[in-house]
Chain A
Amino acid sequence: MNIVVFAKYVPNPQGTPELGPDNLIVRTGGDGALDPGDEYSLELALQLVEGGGGEVTVVTMGPDDAATAVQRALALGAHKAVHVSDPSLRGADALATARVLAAAAARTPWDLVIAGVESTDGYTGTVPITVAELLDTASVSAVRKLEPSDGRIRVERQTETGYDVLECPLPAVVTVTAGATEPRYPSLKGIMQAKQKPVDRLTLADLGLDAGAVAASQSVTTVTDAPAKGGGEVVPAGDEAIARIADLLTEAGVI
């Protein structure tokens, strides 16, 4: 099975994100990384090809700095990568991103696209499914378990009250939760090999898209600080702290 994994370069997941003067999240500065959520997608893809053959292609859209995320994915075991980078993609919204990812994925034959349920910086959560529609394929979101089954896949999907089991024809796009797998760590050998793996660097024109196809359809009009939640106090654990919590419950009339 040939698999495409969508990977996103996000600002340092442990850091405090910042907005630039143009109200876009600052994505340069070098401390960004492969979205931790995407490591689960990649791990699932690697396990599927290790068990059944095929190749894993990582597809990312992002500034030049996103090469960091690409190298990480290759070091973990992806076979090759496509990196779409173009100045006109700065501030791209969900639809523009989906159009680019769909066009990039369409350049390589695949049976399955795996993406995270949502990115850890934007939490948009719609892009992979929009890609599925653009490519006219089936999809399942919020997958926590996936098994190939006779030319199809059988998946467990989270629901509000539990989970559903679905059968899905291939080709398909799935989004996976972090519970789907336990990501591996890159080996030294993997890191060395990653540098030799093919990375296809593409511009918007290479994908046959023009600037109109990725024009932003949302613009931030105002950004204001939310009212600070005052009165907070941090105390060390101990009998007094425990009494304080109990007092709060008593004052709230719930015990």
Chain B
Amino acid sequence: MATIWVYAPVSAEGPHASALELLTKARELGDDIAAVALGPGATAAAGDLGAHGAARVYASDDQVFADHPGRPAAHVLSALIEEHRPSLVLFPGTYDARDVAGRVQARTGSTLMSNATDVLAVDTARTEIFGGTKIVDVALQGPEPRMVLVRPRALVAEPSGGTAEVVPVAVDVPEAAKGARVVERHEEAASGPKLEEAKVVLAGGRGLGGSEGFGLLDELSAAVGGAAVGASRAAVDAGWVPYAYQIGQTGKTVKPDVYIGVGISGALQHVVGMKGAKVIVAINKDEDAPILKMADLGVVGDLFDVVPKLTAEIRRRTGG
């Protein structure tokens, strides 16, 4: 049966959660599962990766992978693929992994599918288009390995209880193949609970009009008691809040009990990151906003009027 690899981004905190989701899926599809972990923390991540189904972890803790995003990892992964010839390689849909997959594709000439929501077989993957209104199954053809970028949190991680053999990877990245170098790192973490874990997510969009508008959501969050505040890409791109707030295709995927979208139109970009919420509430002044069609409750009106009144109503009910 098939050999399936998972490209597992790693850091000092461990493997990226999406790597465990992909390994869980890989167990359904093949019988020889391995992970490739490149960068500081790789060897230490082998425990978690093994516990989710990797029989082997090709690992290197070399700093070059952290200092130079994408290019050295693609160089090494391409060489490993050439040597071991897996049938399928799964990548999480993060910026870094997209870069690695994109570069590997140029070398292997193999197919690469983006934005998958599920992988059905070694040669078939599923995606959703047009804001999740249509489900599309895609046959992957051409030379192996077929490669698929899967949306983080589209799949669920389940431990297998296994252990992985660590296969050390010799790293020989030519100076010319290192590329751009990280010279500074800045954290802009959102305050409050993590978006991915919060029971209530309040998301703001272009309708908030500026960073001050997010103050309304902070007040509502305080009234609810520990709601997380997120944003659409439009609000992040405008510089009103940091990228860490972004919900959607190129941001975080949230699945809260209640999602309240404020001044968000509901572009596909955003919808794929929040449509898993149990209850969706949308507040928008435009009655044609696409988000109103998918909301359990849509409120058409001025958010600058509705949100403060909602905050007051919740405080009245909770005695806060």
Q: Do the beta carbons of B189 and A250 come within 8 Å of each other?
A: no
Per DSSP, are chain A's interface residues mostly helix, strand or loop, or mixed? Answer: mixed
A242-B199 in contact given A130-B103, A167-B183, A248-B297 (Cβ < 8 Å): no
Q: Count A interface residues, CB 8 Å.
A: 83
Among B24-32, B46-54, B163-171, B287-295, the stretch in contact with A: B287-295
Separation of A221 and B95 alpha carbons in the complex (Å): 28
Separation of A230 and B301 alpha carbons in the complex (Å): 22
Is A94 among interface residues, defined by CB-CB distance under 8 A? yes
Among B55-63, B81-89, B209-217, B241-249, the stretch in contact with A: B241-249
A150-200: which have CB < 8 Å to B? Answer: 155, 157-169, 172, 177-179
Is A205 among interface residues, defined by CB-CB distance under 8 A? no
Set A144, A168, A222: member contacting B179, Cβ < 8 A:
A168
Among B34-42, B107-115, B154-162, the stretch in contact with A: B107-115
Q: Do the beta carbons of A220 and B258 come within 8 Å of each other?
A: no
Q: Do the beta carbons of A125 and B306 come within 8 Å of each other?
A: no
* List of 4 A-B pairs having minimum Cβ-Cβ separation, nearest first: A237-B301, A133-B106, A217-B142, A129-B102
Is A49 among interface residues, defined by CB-CB distance under 8 A? no
Is B219 among interface residues, defined by CB-CB distance under 8 A? no
Is A93 among interface residues, defined by CB-CB distance under 8 A? yes
Is A89 among interface residues, defined by CB-CB distance under 8 A? no
Complex interface: chain B residues within 8 A of A218 (CB): 111, 113, 138-141
Chain A's nearest CB lies how many Å from the CB of B262? Answer: 11
Set A131, A133, A157, A221: member contacting B139, Cβ < 8 A:
A221
Q: Count B interface residues, CB 8 Å.
A: 96
**Chain B 7-38 against A: per-residue CB contact (8 Å), 1 yes, 0 no?**
00000000000000000000000000000000
Complex interface: chain A residues within 8 A of B292 (CB): 232, 234
Complex interface: chain A residues within 8 A of B140 (CB): 217-218
Is B172 among interface residues, defined by CB-CB distance under 8 A? no
**Chain B 253-264 against A: per-residue CB contact (8 Å), 1 yes, 0 no?**
000011010000
Of all chain B residues, which has the CB nearest A127?
B102
**26 A–B contacts, CB within 8 A, in A order:** A17-B129, A95-B105, A98-B102, A126-B99, A133-B102, A157-B69, A160-B244, A161-B244, A165-B185, A218-B113, A220-B136, A220-B137, A225-B133, A226-B134, A226-B135, A229-B275, A232-B298, A234-B295, A243-B313, A244-B297, A245-B299, A248-B258, A252-B258, A252-B278, A253-B257, A254-B200
Chain B interface residues (CB < 8 Å from chain A)? 69-71, 74, 93-95, 98-99, 101-103, 105-107, 109-115, 124, 128-130, 132-142, 149, 179-189, 199-200, 224-225, 227, 233-234, 236-239, 242-244, 249-250, 257-258, 260, 268-269, 275, 278-281, 283, 287, 292-302, 305-306, 309-310, 313-314, 317-318
Separation of A157 and B69 alpha carbons in the complex (Å): 11
Of all chain A residues, which has the CB nearest B312?
A242
Q: Do the beta carbons of B189 and A139 come within 8 Å of each other?
A: no
Q: Do the beta carbons of A124 and B114 come within 8 Å of each other?
A: yes
Is A21 among interface residues, defined by CB-CB distance under 8 A? no
Q: Do the beta carbons of B306 and A241 come within 8 Å of each other?
A: yes
Set A160, A172, A226: member contacting B133, Cβ < 8 A:
A226
